[in-house]
A and B are shown apart, each in its own frame.
Chain A
Amino acid sequence: MTSSTETLVLNRERGRPWLRYLALGLVALVMLYPLLWLVGASFKSNGEIFSEIGFWPSRFDFSAYAKGWKTSTEYSFATYFLNSFLITIPRIIVTVISCVLVAYAFARFEFWGKKLLFSVMVGTMMLPLIVLRLPQYLLFRELGWLDSYLPLIVPSAFATDTFFVFMLVQFLRGIPRDMEEAAQIDGCNALQLLWHIIVPLLKPAIISVVVFQFIWTMNDFMGPLIYLASVEKYPVSLALKMSIGATEEVEWANVIAISVVALIPSVTVFFMAQKHFIEGASSSGIKG
């Protein structure tokens, strides 16, 4: 931060910093309260859930977790979580590999049609995916992939999550090429360069890709809804939907408890990588 920044910051801080904190604190409270309340409610009885605004339960009752975990189906949430990971982990791996390769090509190579391809990539970011759903469904049906995880994983192996490619390209553009040139003089070939120089430099951006893809895939609802038919293959998102669908006069406590559990992986990953990936996302160069 430059010295002129410092002075201005000082000028402004002298104003009413507590007012700023108060405003931000209030907004943060409103933003987070629903989530906090959800956690508190998971320990409450059905009656208390509907009568208490406070998030702190009068007593800690874990039975909702036990009941919710078992579900009303023949499978427990252990199965559904395992399914979610069976989709998410392979998908993350193929996403990172394909997107890094493609971003490397866009950021560091000259080839025929590069400009056009780059525009196509940015264009597909703006294409409503729902337009493609139907033909994609028919394609996977022809391939015999329905009711398997392949439709949820394979497209990502072809760098179709263009947002990530874009992010990585922007990140690479901000990195000077000195190291690569030095390595080249030392006789590195393109793949060695990628592995030994580019990948370590890209680490923060790759972490962002992993975190985003993890959370988005865990959250994905429409994909599994369309492609998966058998309950034993359902990921957490579909299983949760089932648990509210089947029950109008719901044991809300159970549903809430399991919703809390369903959020844990994403929240954990978010806080573990928070610093990296907020920066990664914001450094994607979409700047004024």
Chain B
Amino acid sequence: MYENKRLGFLFVLPFVLGVLLFKLFPFVASFALSFSQYDLIDPPEFVGLANYQELATGDPLFRKSLGVTLLFAALAVPLRVGFALFIAHVLNFKMRGINFFRAAFYLPSILGGSIAVAVLWRFIFSKNGLVNLLLSQLGIEPIAWLADEHYSMWTIVLLFTWQFGSAMVIFLAALQNVSVSLYEAAECDGASKFQQFWRITVPLITPVIFFNLIMQMVHAFQEFNGPYLITEGGPLSSTYVLALYIYDQSFRFFNLGYGAALSWVLFALVGGLSAFSFWSSKYWVFYAGEKERK
């Protein structure tokens, strides 16, 4: 019965329809839209490459937000993935209370996307909020986290990093698959804990590091709630990420064609970086299972 081709296809049909209707069609449509001018009222008008030309030459806000997005991803992704790996490593031992710690570290990444947490963040980084209260105890002058363009980026980077739990859980699963005998052998040979981590743990879980890097990168490039709610893109556009700019152009100013072009730039960026990662992965990602399977 598992060979029953029609039945299998019948079960998968919702997905096929869903992909065509809600993914593929919008994907193609947004590409087409990016060559037009459309304000929701008059019918779309074909303008060729005009939107992209505008992006490339005449739009300082685009350049700014592109830079902000790249900076955000460059800071936030390594921090989140690095933290996730480090904590997973420390947690990967049989110990009492491990479930408490797992839950404690996971909770922020579950709640982190919520508006309530954004409110909280905006509040603890406000001028007389919790963070500055703590700093004043240490004798440090209060910092205008949200109003000073040198610090505003860090608040949303910290919010992103704080939610390392989901990546951590995936790392934990991978770490539990690493054969203990490898560590035993290394210990006999006198390898330090640090060496064990870099020489055994890291190489063996490179596929998972790779997976987490890609997924978190896709997330980082789309980050919207933090910059929208906490810093509102400011001050001086220092947290004005592309996702915000796309939202503004599309749904606030109703420049739908321009918004579509922007979103295609974002897509090209994520696609290009993913492709690069996949290409580079053959040099640093080690699939232990591959050889066994062949």
Question: Does A pair with B?
Answer: yes
- Residues of A at the B interface (CB closer than 8 Å) are 1-2, 4-5, 7-9, 11-13, 17, 20-21, 23-24, 27-28, 31-32, 34-35, 37-38, 50-53, 98, 101-102, 104-106, 108-112, 114, 117, 120-121, 124-139, 155, 157-160, 165, 184, 189-190, 215-216, 218-219, 221-222, 226, 236-238, 240-241, 244, 252, 255-256, 259-260, 262-263, 266-267, 270-271, 274-275, 278, 281-284, 286-288
Do A105 and B260 touch (CB < 8 A)? Answer: no
- B104 cross-chain contacts in A, Cβ below 8 A: 28, 31-32
- A120 cross-chain contacts in B, Cβ below 8 A: 19
A139 and B1 in contact (CB under 8 A), knowing A131-B263, A288-B205? no
Segment touching A, from B49-57, B60-68, B149-157, B181-189 = B181-189
Interface residues of B in 65-114 (CB under 8 A from A): 87, 90-91, 93-95, 97, 99-108, 110-111, 113-114
Q: Which residue of B lies closest to A53 (CB)?
A: B133
- B243 cross-chain contacts in A, Cβ below 8 A: 130
Residue from A35, A112, A260 in contact with B107 in the complex, judged by beta carbons closer than 8 Å? A35
Residue from A132, A222, A266, A286 in contact with B23 in the complex, judged by beta carbons closer than 8 Å? A132
Do A157 and B14 touch (CB < 8 A)? Answer: yes
| Closest CB in chain B relative to A271 CB, distance in Å | 7
The reply to whether the CB of B170 lies closer than 8 angstroms to some CB of chain A is yes
- B184 cross-chain contacts in A, Cβ below 8 A: 4, 7-8
Q: Which residue of A lies closest to B212 (CB)?
A: A286
Do B115 and A288 touch (CB < 8 A)? Answer: no
Do A287 and B19 touch (CB < 8 A)? Answer: no
- A11 cross-chain contacts in B, Cβ below 8 A: 187
- Residues of B at the A interface (CB closer than 8 Å) are 1-12, 14-19, 21-23, 25-27, 29-30, 33, 87, 90-91, 93-95, 97, 99-108, 110-111, 113-117, 119-124, 128-130, 133-134, 137, 162, 166, 169-170, 172-174, 177-178, 180-181, 183-184, 187, 204-208, 211, 214-215, 218, 221-222, 224-225, 228-229, 243, 246-247, 250-251, 256, 259-260, 263-264, 266-267, 270, 274, 288-289
C-alpha gap A257/B4 in the complex (Å): 56
Can you list 26 A-B pairs, Cβ within 8 angstroms, ordered by A? A8-B187, A24-B91, A28-B101, A32-B108, A35-B120, A50-B129, A53-B133, A98-B18, A105-B10, A110-B2, A128-B221, A128-B263, A130-B246, A133-B250, A136-B22, A139-B21, A157-B14, A190-B7, A219-B113, A221-B115, A241-B115, A259-B120, A262-B115, A275-B99, A283-B173, A286-B174
C-alpha gap A17/B21 in the complex (Å): 54
- A8 cross-chain contacts in B, Cβ below 8 A: 180, 183-184, 187
| Closest CB in chain A relative to B119 CB, distance in Å | 5
Do B180 and A282 touch (CB < 8 A)? Answer: no
C-alpha gap A17/B97 in the complex (Å): 12
Q: Which residue of B lies closest to A24 (CB)?
A: B101
Q: Which residue of A lies closest to B113 (CB)?
A: A219
Q: Which residue of A lies closest to B209 (CB)?
A: A288
Do A128 and B14 touch (CB < 8 A)? Answer: no
C-alpha gap A106/B270 in the complex (Å): 27
Do B14 and A27 touch (CB < 8 A)? Answer: no
Residue from A106, A124, A260 in contact with B19 in the complex, judged by beta carbons closer than 8 Å? A124
